[in-house]
Amino acid sequence: MEAVILAGGKGSRLMPHTAEVPKPMVPVGGRPIIEILLSRFRKAGVTKVHLAVNHLAEQIEAHLRDGSKLGLEIVYSKEDQPLSTVGPIRLMRDLPDSFIVANGDVLTDLSVKELFDFHREHGAELTVATCHRHDRIDYGVLDTDDNNTVTGFIEKPSYSFRVSMGIYVFSKSILDVVPQGKPFGFDELVLEMLRQKRRVMSFPYTGYWRDIGRPEDYAQVQEDIVEIKGLVE
């Protein structure tokens, strides 16, 4: 298996933790989160990683180098301009017919081998690892009609959504949807694939998952350290 890791973002939402380091280098349990992600990928059978970098790329390259200390081959692809989440993949050469794609700030015990096998078994062009996330609204929520008459009320409701975990499997065939040299996000990719009626699958997962894109999520990961000790070592 080969993987693409998206590690070029500025991590603005995670300030001040990303004031001087790129988001994938933010530590969890004493190790950069991208190193933890790469170690798990290697254990699952990934042999080569294409790393999309931009912001503070020199720090990532200086730490990971060619990947040999992690038992991987790492090749770097640097954007000349920000290309959002999917745009950088269009720049890469020699990608296999199917490959894993992951954000560089994801912490999970998901087996990417199971995800990869699921993708191929279902003949998908895009498979998205997903989990349920519960969000609570800390206010009373009112339903109203067109005349502003209150028709319903819920005190501090909780909602459950199936959300993307930031780990996917791409078939190389879908890169023809991605414009060359222009910003193009994952949301745009999915919407265009659905419009074209191309096969997109969800891989539901119930294990541990966090991304550290927001300070509150990063704080939660630090609280989870005892629970996830085996994951970060």
Catalytic annotation on 156?
yes
Angle, CA of 58, 64 and 66, to the nearest 5° = 100
CB 22 within 8 A of CB 60: yes
- Distance in angstroms (rounded) separating the CA atoms of residues 26 and 179: 31
Sequence-ordered list of residues with C-beta below 8 angstroms from that of 209, at least 6 positions apart, any chain: 106, 107, 108, 110, 131, 165
CB 52 within 8 A of CB 84: no
Catalytic residue among 156, 172, 182, 229: 156
Any idea which residues carry the catalytic annotation?
A: 156
